[in-house]
Amino acid sequence: MIDVALAQRIKLVGLDVDGVLTDGGIYLGDVNGERGEFKRYDIQDGLGIKFLRDAGIKVVIITGRVSESVRHRAAELEVDALVQDSTAQKLPAFRTLLARHGVSAAEAAFVGDDFPDVSVLREVALPVAVGNAVPEIRAITKLHLTRTGGNGAVREFAELLLKARGQWDDVTDRYVRERMHPRVEVSA
């Protein structure tokens, strides 16, 4: 559970990619002579991110790998910012994003799983560990999710945060209502 007062303060959520938005696996291959990197994303996590954004919470992604797959997924999800830094210098990037959005670390959460996330997790008001986080991450986080990275952990977090804020029912009801009336005609 998330403390209601803390949940109400959260204005920005940061997410790691490998091990949080994905199961941590990286598929490398060759597509028409070009190097390709593929990742598997959980569709429920994507909807959780939409719910967070619909509730007025900024969502940013910070990863220590550079990948076209991540760029495509971030664009699909319409996140507020994406930082891909191959040196995994996440804290300076996170601080820059906080300043850009006018948010303090005391108004931020971050979901992580492994050592590259430590510096950011130590700085935010609500540090979160996915179910498969390494013990050192679990030791420094306030919230331990049951679901693993790439398997609904972000959705679990979104639901817990929005329920603590009293926004879950409004956001999900609005989502369902918007889909009850088709915008386009359905052909036979």
| Residue 109 β-bridge partners | 13, 126
> What are the residue boundaries of the structural domains of the chain, listed by start?
4-147+155-177
Q: Considering the chain, what percentage of its residues have pLDDT values greater than 70?
A: 96
pLDDT tens digits, 20-63: 999 999 888 888 888 888 899 999 999 999 999 999 999 999 99
- What is the C-alpha to C-alpha distance for residues 141 and 128, in angstroms, rounded to an integer? 5
pLDDT number for residue 32: 87
- What is the C-alpha to C-alpha distance for residues 177 and 79, in angstroms, rounded to an integer? 23
pLDDT tens digits, 121-131: 999 999 999 99
Residue partners of 89: CB distance under 8 A and separation at least 6? none
pLDDT tens digits, 144-183: 999 999 999 999 999 999 999 999 999 999 999 998 876 6
Instruction: Give the domain 4-147+155-177 fold.
Output: Rossmann fold (3.40.50)
Q: Give the pTM.
A: 0.93
Paired sense of beta strands 81-84 and 108-112, if any: unpaired
Q: Among 85, 16, 87, 2, which residue's Cα sits nearest to residue 45?
A: 16
For residue 25, which amino acid is it?
A: G
